[in-house]
Amino acid sequence: MKIAIYSRGVDAAQFKDINHLIQHLVSNGVEPVFYQDFFNQFYTSVNLDCAYSTFNSHEDLDEDIDCMISLGGDGTLLDTVTLVRNAEIPVLGINYGRLGFLANIGKNDIADAINAIAERKYVLDKRTLIHLEANVPLFGQTPYGLNEFSIFKKENSPMIKIHTYLNGEFLNSYWADGLIVATPTGSTGYSLSCGGPVVFPDSSSFVITPIAPHNLNIRPIIVPDTNIISFEVDSRTDDFICTLDSRRETVSKEVQIAVKKENFDIRLIRMNENNFLQTLREKLSWGLDKRN
């Protein structure tokens, strides 16, 4: 069994945790495959008395990779999605960050998680991706996101006007600082902080959430993910900002853009005892009341 490991980076305080992770992998007969930039940061400081290899890009990941571990927070896992692409490699998020909605395996649970992977005793959650289409090239070979697509005004410009259409039929004109189209996975992220609803991962929908709308009667709306959502942007400046998860590009207001459901999904590894409701209760502190 081969397991790829990706991380944005580590500090010296985490070398001990990495060493423990490698030991658990090796004891389960797993050959680790490290992301090269990550490997360069720690290889002189941990015990690597085992067979291993490295990779640099999506093209280096072949059918021999059984799964990929993301070490970090949710942002690191979003990076991992751009490496996996359509290879159908399951992803396990181990939380070295803070909140960890997606990367929800704690450092203390690493041994149990590795054992479960080696014994294939886990659940695969298929997560929808959102795909961006435009009449100019945007976001290179990965024009998709796991959490959301967003349109923003530029930092020094006034609010923008975003004419929005569902399958070509006019929906609304949003006078706002921006607009978010979130997947169910992304509904607990930026969209939630802007007043959007929490949506279950298997709900087959998108959430359209305005950012600081000028009209107070404008509210988030949930639409089926079978829709193609297109936009026309009016702005006093010549361009605006588009984002896919944590990646961004500056786009001319003359560019035609639309989003739809991607034709492949991402598979997140979940331990059998964990589920979405448990994650909501733990991460959002639901059910906790200081009065009790």
Please state the φ and ψ torsions of residue 199, each to the nearest 5 degrees: -120, 135
Closest CA to 149 of 251, 255, 264, 246: 246
- Residues, the chain: 292
| Cβ count within 10 A of residue 149 | 27
- Paired with 7 in beta bridges are 71
State how far the Cα of 255 lies from the Cα of 239, in Å rounded to an integer.
Answer: 9
Which of the residues 11, 37, 64, 74 is marked catalytic?
Answer: 74
State how far the Cα of 247 lies from the Cα of 147, in Å rounded to an integer.
Answer: 11
Cβ density class 32-64: b for 16+ within 10 Å, e for less: bbbbeebbebbeeebebeeebebbeeeeebeee
| Cβ count within 10 A of residue 80 | 28
Q: Catalytic annotation on 60?
A: no
State how far the Cα of 200 lies from the Cα of 182, in Å rounded to an integer.
Answer: 12
How far CA 20 is from CA of 15, 148, 235, in Å, comes to 9, 34, 53
Strands 53-55 and 31-35: parallel
> Cβ-count burial of 253 within 10 angstroms (0-12 exposed, 13-18 middle, 19+ buried)?
middle
- Residues taking part in catalysis: 74
